């Protein structure tokens, strides 16, 4: 008699199906600080590889004569508090 088919347990070192492999080489502290200090220019998002969002932050800041910089500040704080992901979907490392 054959044993029942089940999902194999998680094995460290092997990527889980549906999840990105590993942790990003980008730091959430650096991304957050860049977002707070240079959010007007989308620096935090450029750093993490989210180029489209970074360009959008820059355009919004230019069109609103700098008021859109609040988006970068809030984005930087959220990255520091909640973490974030890089362009490949991997979570940012803590240090």
pLDDT tens column, 3-12: 666 655 555 5
Q: If pLDDT is split at 50, 70 and 90, which confidence band does 22 have?
A: confident
Report the candidate in 80, 63, 70, 74 with the shortest Cα–Cα distance to residue 40: 70
Q: 72 pLDDT exceeds 60?
A: yes
pTM reported for the whole predicted model: 0.76
Average pLDDT over residues 20-29: 87
Domain with 38 in it: 26-89
Q: Has residue 43 been placed in a domain?
A: yes
- Structural domain total, the chain: 1
Compute the C-alpha angle 85/74/60, nearest 5°. Answer: 95
Q: Has residue 64 been placed in a domain?
A: yes
Q: Has residue 10 been placed in a domain?
A: no
Q: Has residue 35 been placed in a domain?
A: yes
């Amino acid at each position: 008699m054959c044993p029942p088919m089940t999902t194999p347990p998680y094995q460290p070192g092997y990527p889980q199906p549906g999840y990105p492999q590993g942790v990003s080489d980008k730091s959430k502290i650096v991304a957050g600080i860049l977002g707070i200090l240079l959010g007007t220019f989308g620096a935090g998002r450029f750093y993490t590889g989210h180029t489209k969002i970074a360009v959008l932050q820059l355009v919004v800041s230019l069109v609103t004569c700098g008021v859109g910089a609040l988006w970068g500040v809030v984005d930087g704080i959220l990255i520091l508090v909640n973490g974030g992901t890089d362009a490949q979907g991997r979570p940012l490392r803590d240090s």
